[in-house]
Structure 1
Amino acid sequence: MPEQPARAWRTVLEHIERDLLDGKLGPGDRLPSERDLAADLSVGRSSVREALRVLEVMGLIRTATGSGPQAGAIVIATPTGGMSTLLRLQVAAQGFPLDDVVQTRLVLEDAVVTTLAGRAERDTAEAHRILLAMDAEGLAPQEFLALDAQLHLALAQSSGNSVIAAMMAGLRTAIESYVVAGSEAIADWTTMADRLRTEHHAIVAAIDEGDADAAGALVRAHITGYYEHVLGHRPTD
């Protein structure tokens, strides 16, 4: 007897998860057809399609219609977009405490800059491009802070750690919300912007010089300093 529709799509997800964990499926492999999955699992094809939509949003498969080698549902090897989406939605839905978001950011960004600085070869070209854009005169606070967010994400992506990059991207909405909200309470934005520019340049310079200790200390002071300035307490309080 087929499962109730409300749970049938979960059966499909669990089946595919088991095949991934057991090594029966891997990056580049094609999933069985909707018809075969429905028959094998005793569920309706609509439930199979629902499960595939969930997997696609999660970034675990891509689907294409038609025939040929690229058609159907295929497991992909770069699920970072899906991970970012899921974390972003969890942040939005659960309303994680701001202190927790900042503490997580401190851990991630410390790891990012120290990893980059510790490499013999490091790519900070995108970071320098964004720094140059941030140095332009006449930027409105929201324009400046959008570039600020891009800079931190660019460094995370340059670190080469796809999990950290995905987590930073997923936290970006929560980070931007408190950063932008905080800017509205700053009486002298010009002075604050100059301070942030100086701090950003110092962080990237420490990375370029291979000074991991300095890069870590600078990024921690940068994050906690802004937080403390706009909210009046440190994230550990």
Structure 2
Amino acid sequence: MPPTSRTYTVVLEWLEQRLRSGEVSVGDKLPSERQLAEEFAISRASVREAVRILDVMGLVRSATGSGPSSGAVVISEPSSALAWALRMHIATRSLPVRDIVQTRLLLETQSARHAAAAPDTEQRSEILNQAAELLDTMDDPDLPSGWFHEHDTQFHTLLSSLAGNVVVETIMDSLRQATISYVQETVAGLPNWADVRCTLQDQHKTILEAFRDRRGQDAAAALHHHIAWFYSLSEYRNGTKDQATPAPSARMCERTA
């Protein structure tokens, strides 16, 4: 065993090597705690620690008990693990929300430009239709704000996937998950949330139309305006924006009797 104060790392390094070589694949079960402990001459507690870390990283899913369904199975859920890490570091303020938003702007607008050049496929049509269905659901004024934000996240992730870059899609999903708390806090303090969601929907529909028409520059510009506009709301809500600057305005929703 290599000299290290964290003996569980030998299990992490072993799994990385096996995944790289193809000896272990997604869906395979890891050897038992006893087998791993004996192979690496470490304690079973160290093995359990390694499995817990792999679980948090989105690389294994553990099931307790006995029988064929017990043990740790290799999975691949990178965005959930990355999102949790980002959320925790945002909470410590070592990663400012402003910088997270800037990263989203860079990735999402560039994805829009790449998506405009992507070939026509059945999958592309399906993704655009799913995005449109989400917006239809979000038009319901009685949709709870939590569900609105969940659909909003899915909408952006779907459109980002059109660029065909799995890494960008994963990071985008992680960034959206990581900033959900700041979104919820912003909305909770808005007296005119109904009008804000109408404005967001106007922006969403403009974005989707540009994607449908393959107008990459227009889609990128609409996304930039949309993301920056909502972030400016949070700055006013949290008192970090110069109050001499006019607050962002929202379109007043048409009220029905």
Shorter-chain TM-score tier: 0.7 to 0.9
Indicate the SS of the match to 1:8: coil
Aligned equivalent of 2:249: none
Any gaps of 5 or more consecutive residues in structure 2? 243-257
Q: Counterparts of 1:109 and 1:128 in 2: how far apart (Å)?
A: 18
The answer to whether the Cα contact below 8 Å between 1:149 and 1:176 also exists between their aligned partners in 2 is no
- Measured against aligned partners, the alpha-carbon deviations of 1:99-133 in whole angstroms (never above 9, x if no partner) come to 11111111222133333333223221221111001
**2:19 and 2:25 in contact (8 A); partners too:** no
- CA-atom RMSD, angstroms? 3.4
Equivalent residue, structure 1, for 2:95: 96
Cα distance change on mapping 1:49 and 1:3 into 2, 3 Å: farther
Q: Whole-Å Cα distance in 2 between the matches of residues 71 and 229 of structure 1? A: 48
Q: 1:230/1:53 Cα in 2 relative to 1: closer, same or farther (>3 Å)?
A: closer
State the match for 1:34 in structure 2: 33
Give aligned pairs, total: 231
Does structure 2 retain, via aligned residues, the 8 Å contact 1:80–1:162? Answer: no
Change (3 A) 1:77 1:217: same
One-letter code aligned to 1:222: H
Task: Check 1:7–1:195 CA distance in 2 against 1; reply closer, same or farther (3 A cut).
Answer: same
Contact 1:92-1:174 at 8 Å conserved across structures: no
Q: CA deviation at 1:222?
A: 0.8
Tell me which amino acid in the other structure corresponds to 1:195. Answer: T
Q: From the superposition, tell whether residues 9 and 124 of structure 1 become closer, same or farther in structure 2 (CA, over 3 Å).
A: same
8 Å Cα contact 1:185-1:230 kept in structure 2: no
Inter-partner Cα distance in structure 1 for 2:189 and 2:22: 55
Structure 1 counterpart of 2:14:
15
Aligned partner of 2:55 in structure 1 is 56
CA distance in 2 between counterparts of 1:222 and 1:134 reads 16
State the match for 2:113 in structure 1. 114
Mark the runs of 5 or more structure 1 residues left unpaired by the alignment.
none
Q: TM-score, normalised to structure 2's length?
A: 0.72
Partner of 1:105: 104
- Counting aligned pairs with the same residue, the percent is 34
Match for residue 172 of structure 1?
Answer: 176
- CA shift for structure 1 position 217: 0.9
| Equivalence map 1:122-201=2 (5 Å) | 122=124, 123-139=127-143, 141-157=145-161, 159-201=163-205
1:207 and 2:211 aligned: yes
In structure 1, C-alpha distance between the alignment counterparts of 2:100 and 2:16, rounded to whole Å: 29
Q: Distance in 1 between matches of 2:195 and 2:29?
A: 56
Three-state SS of the structure 2 residue aligned to 1:59 is: coil
Seen in structure 2, the aligned counterparts of structure 1 residues 187 and 47 have a Cα distance that, compared at 3 Å, is: closer
* Kept in 2: contact 1:113–1:216 (CA 8 A): yes
Confirm or deny: 8 A CA contact 2:87 2:179 kept in the other structure: no
